[in-house]
A and B are shown apart, each in its own frame.
Chain A
Amino acid sequence: MLKTITIAASLAAFIATGASAADVVVSSKIDTEGTLLGNIILLSLNAAGIKAQDRIALGTTPVLRKAITAGEIDIYAEYTGNAGFFFNKADDAAWKNNEAGYALAKKLDYDANKIVWLTPSPANNTWAIAVRNDVAGPAKLKTMSDFGKWISDGGKVKLAASSEFVNSAAALPAFQTTYNFKITPDQTIVLAGGDTAATIKAAADQTNGVNTAMVYGTDGAIEAAELTVMDDDKGVQPVYAPTPIIREAVLKANPKIEEVLAPIFKSLTADELRKLNGRIQVDGEPAKSVAESYLKDNGFLK
């Protein structure tokens, strides 16, 4: 009976989307980090007394972009490096620099769509290479420079990656040129689908001897899989810093949002995000309760 009522109520709520026009519509991507950041934004806006509507886990990046430019959602977390693709400027060198990339994304999106990029997180969720701890530890591998030297000195590497990572000039080939190493095709296992969940699993289970995986910098499974992320010390990859982006009209109506979110996103370092993503992905905690406990533990929420 209770369930019937819940279904009926949810149906009613479902049909009556956009009930109140003044609410800030908080949205997010459908992936782990997206739902985490969406919940963090939603909870902190609510706590600051700003009425917010939950459209978290809306879809993939193109869906979110279309939705915010059409004015159907007001705020969500986007990555600075993605702006290069939105505006067909992926080749610009600015994306490889934290501050320059943020500034360029902010300018392009404001000029074109009147979307404001608020304070970004210092984390970088970009393509990276992670090595099993039992290999990285003894060989003292911490940075990509270490990694390149280790391979050139005869280190036995077996990399699991997507075909995009192996083939696209900006990914593995760029790493190889800059850090001066070479991974041969028989040292590579290309996974067709190519999501990092699969490559991390391959390294964790040592499938076919894999000891190195393509990852994204803040993947939640990295720690549980006992991998170490190699620091991109020469900045080969574009920086993907998670940043809340909001429509200017909504920000003007609720100027408080900027100061509410700034300290929270500043506190979200790569280590912190990896841990939080891990709690969602590895331990199966709901994104909302992970977001809530993070905000409470750090004094952003009472």
Chain B
Amino acid sequence: MEDGYAVRRVDRLGVVLAGAGFAAAATMPFIVAKANRIAAGKPLLLTSLLAQPIALALVGLLLGTAISTIFLRRPFVRLAIATLCLIALLMTIGIVSTSATPPGSASARITPGGTFWVLLAVIGLIIADALVKLQLTPWMRVASLLIYAALLAAFLVTGSLDSLSIMKEFAIRADQFWREAGAHLFLAFGSVVVAIVMALPLGILCFWVPKLRAAVLQVLSLVQTIPSLALFGLLMLPLAYLSAHVPLAAELGIHGIGAAPALIALILYSLLPIVANTVVGLEGVDPAVRDAAAGMGLTRRQILFGIDLPLAFPVILTGIRIVLVQAIGLVTVAALIGGGGFGLFIFQGLGQTAMDLVLLGAVPTVFLAFSSAVILDAVIDTIRGRRA
């Protein structure tokens, strides 16, 4: 049988995803109701919640999503049903949590269970798969990211998820959340911007001077192997010395603790991918193009800015994308040296066995990293597309 002509009746990915969803729903709790943050909690399966109309509606939509992903071929139909299902999932957990909360209890916590997370992942994958099959242009992908982010924001702003444990953790430290968000963004984007400014010239130099290349790349690889916490610790002492003995440094806000060591460590980690990709990108430029330009009388500088860099740009951007996603994740460790950021919630939560507090730090970090990756991918594809 020739695969190209055969009509495949079932979508294999759909079968796997639907199977995972149903296996989770049958065995794992949808929510866990706890008397307080650290109590063991009572697991509630989705099947035990069917008395509530919204849960019943969710089960109906889950079946619909499963059938559409397994049997239907049109991505748009799948996308629409899966999106409806996502909305129902979020509405259900909000409503079910509210009804599971004992009235008047401030310490009760309703945490999402395994079923919720598996269903969220499965529906997310179905939506992502449908979006890929729709062959959206890069900016349409960013637009759909915005639409789904707006959908989530609508749930958060209207307060329909407020009974959920993560939102309770958020509610009691909302001010702090936005302060840490600011610190997190400042550290991640600040370090990447500085790293770009430093790494681009270094990459170009390495390309021009092959002897330098091996040495620089080896040193930077070595830096990459130092565990982040160790690097933060190593930077603390010299910076504290600098701050104590150079008044200007102290005035600029350079201290042994806080933002300065975190920024420097993040910059050091960011150098290797950008330098390496700059070298690779420049090497990828056809020497014939460069020869032709030289033959036309262009100077070395004109060749660099007019030909080399524009042609190498998509590869360099790929390096920047790696670095940005990496930095957003690494910033979490900065909380241990007073740098702030979402890591503060993660480490406080771990210390208190309060997993909801850990999630309050982890979920926004993942969301930030994911959004940055989608947006930068779109930029890279747009540049590649224009050239093609």
Q: Is the A/B pair a real complex?
A: yes
Contact among B169, B183, B336 with A30 in the assembled complex (CB-CB below 8 Å): B336
The complex places the Cα of A70 from the Cα of B356 at a distance, in Å, of 35
User: Known interface pairs A35-B348, A284-B354. Does A7 touch B233 (Cβ–Cβ under 8 Å)?
Assistant: no
10 sample A-B contacts, Cβ–Cβ < 8 Å, listed by A number: A11-B185, A18-B255, A32-B352, A59-B337, A204-B38, A221-B38, A281-B353, A282-B37, A285-B172, A286-B173
Asked if residues B338 and A55 are in contact (CB atoms below 8 Å), the reply is yes
Residue B47 CB within 8 A of the other chain: no
Asked if residues B172 and A197 are in contact (CB atoms below 8 Å), the reply is no
Q: Which residues of A contact B337 (CB under 8 A)?
A: 58-59, 63
Binds A, one of B87-95, B237-245, B275-283, B305-313: B237-245
The complex places the Cα of A185 from the Cα of B170 at a distance, in Å, of 42
Q: Which residues of A contact B255 (CB under 8 A)?
A: 17-18, 72
The complex places the Cα of A213 from the Cα of B88 at a distance, in Å, of 43
The complex places the Cα of A32 from the Cα of B349 at a distance, in Å, of 9
- Say how far A69's CB is from chain B's closest CB, in angstroms: 8
The complex places the Cα of A283 from the Cα of B352 at a distance, in Å, of 11
Interface centre among A10, A59, A204, A224 (most CB of B within 10 A): A59
5 other A-B residue contacts (CB within 8 Å) besides A14-B259, A59-B335? A67-B256, A70-B237, A204-B39, A221-B353, A224-B38
Q: B339-378 vs A: 1/0 string, CB under 8 Å?
A: 0100010011001111011000000000000000000000
Q: Which residues of A contact B258 (CB under 8 A)?
A: 17, 72
The 6 A-B pairs at the shortest CB distance, nearest first, are namely A70-B240, A197-B353, A283-B107, A10-B182, A58-B338, A10-B179
- Say how far B5's CB is from chain A's closest CB, in angstroms: 55
Asked if residues A59 and B240 are in contact (CB atoms below 8 Å), the reply is no
Residue B102 CB within 8 A of the other chain: no
Q: Which residues of B contact A8 (CB under 8 A)?
A: 182
User: Known interface pairs A11-B186, A282-B36. Does A72 touch B351 (Cβ–Cβ under 8 Å)?
Assistant: no
Contact among A3, A10, A58 with B257 in the assembled complex (CB-CB below 8 Å): A58
Q: Which residues of B contact A35 (CB under 8 A)?
A: 348
- Say how far A21's CB is from chain B's closest CB, in angstroms: 9
Asked if residues A10 and B183 are in contact (CB atoms below 8 Å), the reply is yes
Q: Which residue of A lies closest to B344 (CB)?
A: A57
Number of A-B pairs whose CB atoms are under 8 Å? 139
Asked if residues A71 and B338 are in contact (CB atoms below 8 Å), the reply is no
User: Known interface pairs A3-B178, A6-B178, A201-B353. Does A281 touch B256 (Cβ–Cβ under 8 Å)?
Assistant: no
Residue A234 CB within 8 A of the other chain: no
Q: Which residues of B contact A15 (CB under 8 A)?
A: 186, 253, 259
Q: Which residues of A contact B348 (CB under 8 A)?
A: 30-32, 35, 57
Residue B217 CB within 8 A of the other chain: no
Residue B44 CB within 8 A of the other chain: no
Contact among B106, B173, B178, B243 with A283 in the assembled complex (CB-CB below 8 Å): B106
Residue B181 CB within 8 A of the other chain: yes
Chain A interface (Cβ < 8 Å from any Cβ of B): 3, 6-8, 10-11, 13-18, 30-32, 35, 55, 57-60, 62-63, 66-67, 70-73, 195, 197-198, 201, 204-205, 220-221, 224-225, 280-286, 289
Q: Which residue of A lies closest to B229 (CB)?
A: A60
- Say how far A256's CB is from chain B's closest CB, in angstroms: 26
Chain B interface (Cβ < 8 Å from any Cβ of A): 36-40, 106-107, 109, 168-169, 172-173, 175, 178-179, 181-183, 185-186, 233, 236-237, 240-241, 243-244, 250, 253, 255-259, 335-338, 340, 344, 347-348, 351-354, 356-357
The complex places the Cα of A282 from the Cα of B36 at a distance, in Å, of 6
Q: Which residues of B contact A11 (CB under 8 A)?
A: 182-183, 185-186
- Say how far A139's CB is from chain B's closest CB, in angstroms: 24
Q: Which residue of B lies closest to A279 (CB)?
A: B107
Asked if residues A10 and B240 are in contact (CB atoms below 8 Å), the reply is no
Q: Which residue of B lies closest to A73 (CB)?
A: B257
The complex places the Cα of A66 from the Cα of B244 at a distance, in Å, of 13
The complex places the Cα of A15 from the Cα of B353 at a distance, in Å, of 32
User: Known interface pairs A10-B183, A55-B338, A282-B36. Does A72 touch B257 (Cβ–Cβ under 8 Å)?
Assistant: yes
Interface centre among A66, A280, A284 (most CB of B within 10 A): A284
Q: Which residue of B lies closest to A9 (CB)?
A: B182
Contact among B38, B168, B175, B335 with A282 in the assembled complex (CB-CB below 8 Å): B38
Q: Which residue of A lies closest to B175 (CB)?
A: A6
The complex places the Cα of A117 from the Cα of B168 at a distance, in Å, of 38
The complex places the Cα of A123 from the Cα of B236 at a distance, in Å, of 32
Interface centre among B109, B175, B182, B185 (most CB of A within 10 A): B182
Q: Which residues of A contact B250 (CB under 8 A)?
A: 18
Q: Which residues of B contact A195 (CB under 8 A)?
A: 351
